[in-house]
Structure 1
């Protein structure tokens, strides 16, 4: 029996009944043993100890050895994988899970009858499931489900992990291939019903090619490349929705390696990333310059009455200052903001930690030469510290387009001195480490 509220491996340490205590990754080779199985039938789900048959089919010896995937390059986020002895990407999941994914990939070309668009969609569904890597997934305290390997934008190895059913069980399977295909079909059917025909999709197209409005017969154009160059022509877009890189919070290149390895793409470190991990000093000037180039390109492509809507969250004063400066330098004017709830407080990996549970949504326009009515979504009168923080930053954001004088200093004081930030800064390193 366990206490669901207890933390048995705080700071990634384990404690033996004999009195020995140590770091998990220094304890030698890890041995994975199935201890619980979820079974589903129509209308019912149950969790119980595995049967002898289930133990047999879960064993690596039951499944043929699979192809070797590229080496896991040492890095800030991949260091935890190396600590647990994982040196190649095929080592992050049980052999059974690997075998089923390979079998699904092998079936794709034989079922698409030469339709490259359908093939690409099927590859995306199958290869996207590798984020549910069995040896990396975490058990969520609130939901009985497998949890993504890169949740919280960090690779994590847990003492209680979940190997998902790759295809999916009838009553469950968040993130499984079957569920992904069902939602892809649902989205496609929704669009086709509103168009009265199948949507015409082109791409992915390289962002470097000549700009054009595209054909009138094309409903969706997918472009791959940097946001500092859009394929859209001048004054042609009604709305841009974006979630810009969060300063130094996420090491996007390392987190994408698990997908690139399975897709057979180059797994070398991505050069020229806009963002680095929190463990590395970030060049804020370069970050701001990159955002400015991207926002200027968005402004060029927006119609005179177009809108830029973006979501942002951070505790770093420099991050907010860089964002606001880039938006103003690109010629945008803020007309409103909304504070919305993120999912972090119901995410076991982030709950009770330094993660932001709210996002600030900004609405900006290019019409800076005439008076604009500005709006604030006020919400409840009694606010949490984080809600108050977001509203304080949002009110300064409404000055984007007319920021002048010592606005940076004012913004940085507002952020740096707010209790939501100072209280979080006082947390110890042990408090910030995820618990298994």
Structure 2
């Protein structure tokens, strides 16, 4: 199977070069020049600007990129990125770009045309590629698969630890044995807390417990749920009159210990029908005390999946867990710092991360920390990250979606909307539940299968999913491996292949000699977009307990391009200053004759583009070319209905090039692709023509406020 990198069939370069390419003297014809009127264009003309000692512009990506192929692959991958690249999804991270897009970017740097095919293994042997803002690790994984040696840096320890775990080739058999040892130990310590008795008298593991939330009005107390239907197709429902649970035509029992006169309502009931007051959280009630345990869910050997009201024995187990956990963690280590996303927690009186976890979930973390100490470092790293990422499915911020017949799975994970959410039906998952012959959302066993077992099997023999009729087919890539050998010094990158060097710290000062990097490929933070550093605290406070020796857990806030604390008036300046320092360091380490800085970017605000342009000007980069590609599904829950951009600009930059860009006309704000293309052209003009950095904000504001 062949999927061509270049050629008219699969490539539409949004910035194909009109000027003569250095080295071959052949002119490329464009289909259109920059259009001041704002109409759609598919290619943009670039005129040569006299300059001494210009860069060679003979890399394939300087002139062309298979946009149509990239779009077709991305539209498929964007819905299930973890299926396309399972080995880079060990731990939760945000805003990952499509791996197929970055593979195509890297193929555009391959000198041997025979190895430039999308499905051709290798092509980057002997090259050293840097990602100074590592994030989800896409660049490192894609580059190492093609034979390159790689360097990754990040100010946050989580991306660095994830890259180290997933790129280090630990035998799967060792990970399997260690996982079994870990879970055996957890069951011995915690099994009694997660036990439940079915109505038929069987003692079985709890699958999960459902909680409602306390509300009140002038008429008295209420308990609110997302829906009174718990499983529509099984006809499992809460009866608001009898205050209990029906499963089909079987009465499963009544709830116990409810306040006198309590009403059971769903989230649509915002105001009391009697007094007209809005249902409110009772005053001064801590978050965990707002939650009322109502329903246990387990698998009965006779009845199958069984929903029944919480029993006195269940309450005794909850009380025992509360007593046990009181002897464990100290609150001081889990204080929630201020932040733009954390303010949602503070607003609800949640000031400590422990308040987001049930006593049983906290015991799970306490015992995991004890057991992890028994394993060698690389095994401990993998299992520690697995336990940490399981918290997204094992927190009191997890919602229940089993009541919606259109939504698969039982648990809505914490960051389904890239922010903290507060469900009305809260799920306390059992992380140790392992059902026979069925999947269990968010359990440690399911996560181990998906993120370690299946991921490492794929990493040992990667395959690409390519279009085939109405579906896709997996194509093996013999000779590729998604993994390599860790090194400690830059000198070790000069030999061998698939070596990786990781740096936890700011990329403004990298442990690399000048002119030692062939290409920088990255995905910088998007100015004022989702505050990943703030959200990552949710995991970081526990990772510091689980893996205390694995990283320097002091987070250097002042060196982050996006400050995870409260935003301040000078955010644009800080973004410019930090990115400018990183880009300047990239310029220092790039090879002077052929080095490229390539990254993806999109944003709707003039301040973001002006800050980016200022940072690049500070580092003396100019735009060689750009391509606009599909990056995000409009159905994604965190952008749905927000008129958000669904395209990225791939920006190809070099320190010194003969390129002059025309200033574009106004963008079509309603057209994501054309808007992104206009911004990319404006960036080229900003880097080669704007007289002073102080002119940039006004120039960008004038462009994006028009149209």
- Partners of 1:248 and 1:282 within 8 A in 2: no
Instruction: Give yes or no for the alignment of 1:243 onto 2:520.
Output: no
Residue-pair matches, total: 392
Give the drift of 1:371. 5.6
| Partner Cα separation in structure 2 for residue 333 and residue 372 of structure 1 | 9
Instruction: Give yes or no for the alignment of 1:109 onto 2:373.
Output: yes
Of residues 670, 679, 700, the one that matches 1:393 is 679
SS at match of 1:305: coil
SS at match of 1:240: strand
Larger radius of gyration: 2
- Distance change >3 Å, CA 396–CA 38, structure 1 → 2: farther
| Partner Cα separation in structure 2 for residue 190 and residue 201 of structure 1 | 18
The superposition leaves residues 33-77 of structure 1 with CA deviations (integer Å, 9 ceiling, x where unpaired) of: 355677789xxxx98744557992896325353222424235233
- Partners of 1:236 and 1:301 within 8 A in 2: yes
The superposition leaves residues 260-306 of structure 1 with CA deviations (integer Å, 9 ceiling, x where unpaired) of: 32123698775314324675434322320111110122233334434
Give the drift of 1:79. 3.2
Instruction: Give yes or no for the alignment of 1:21 onto 2:278.
Output: yes
Give the drift of 1:165. 3.9
Of residues 574, 582, 586, the one that matches 1:286 is 574
SS at match of 1:222: strand
Instruction: Give yes or no for the alignment of 1:402 onto 2:688.
Output: yes
| Partner Cα separation in structure 1 for residue 598 and residue 433 of structure 2 | 36
Instruction: Give yes or no for the alignment of 1:219 onto 2:483.
Output: no
Instruction: Give yes or no for the alignment of 1:324 onto 2:613.
Output: yes
SS at match of 2:513: coil
Instruction: Give yes or no for the alignment of 1:73 onto 2:332.
Output: no
Query: 1:164-179 alignment to 2 at 5 Å?
Result: 164-167=429-432, 169=434, 171-172=438-439, 176-179=443-446
- Distance change >3 Å, CA 102–CA 373, structure 1 → 2: same
Hey, what does 2:631 align to over in structure 1? 341
Hey, what does 1:95 align to over in structure 2? 359
Relative to the length of structure 1, the TM-score reads: 0.72
Give the drift of 1:252. 4.3
| Partner Cα separation in structure 1 for residue 345 and residue 422 of structure 2 | 7
| Partner Cα separation in structure 2 for residue 279 and residue 383 of structure 1 | 26
- Partners of 1:25 and 1:84 within 8 A in 2: no
- Partners of 2:524 and 2:599 within 8 A in 1: yes
- Distance change >3 Å, CA 87–CA 49, structure 1 → 2: same
- Partners of 1:257 and 1:267 within 8 A in 2: no
SS at match of 1:163: strand
Of residues 409, 413, 419, the one that matches 1:154 is 419
Hey, what does 1:377 align to over in structure 2? none
Of residues 356, 366, 386, the one that matches 2:654 is 366
| Partner Cα separation in structure 1 for residue 660 and residue 299 of structure 2 | 56
Instruction: Give yes or no for the alignment of 1:312 onto 2:569.
Output: no
Hey, what does 1:123 align to over in structure 2? 384
Of residues 260, 268, 274, the one that matches 2:561 is 274
- Partners of 1:36 and 1:47 within 8 A in 2: no
Relative to the length of structure 2, the TM-score reads: 0.47
Unaligned runs of 5+ in 2: 1-226, 231-265, 462-477, 663-667
SS at match of 1:33: strand
Q: Which moved more, 1:397-406 or 1:281-290?
A: 397-406
Hey, what does 1:163 align to over in structure 2? 428
- Partners of 1:14 and 1:24 within 8 A in 2: no
Of residues 319, 324, 335, the one that matches 1:61 is 319
Give the drift of 1:89. 1.8
- Partners of 2:610 and 2:697 within 8 A in 1: yes
The superposition leaves residues 347-388 of structure 1 with CA deviations (integer Å, 9 ceiling, x where unpaired) of: 2x543347x3524232313263346999xxxxxxx9954444
SS at match of 1:15: coil
Unaligned runs of 5+ in 1: 375-381, 419-436
Hey, what does 1:184 align to over in structure 2? 452
The superposition leaves residues 164-223 of structure 1 with CA deviations (integer Å, 9 ceiling, x where unpaired) of: 3424656445654334433234444444446699955437x6xxxx75454746722222
| Partner Cα separation in structure 2 for residue 215 and residue 361 of structure 1 | 32
Give the alignment's Cα RMSD to 1 decimal. Answer: 4.2
| Partner Cα separation in structure 2 for residue 145 and residue 392 of structure 1 | 43
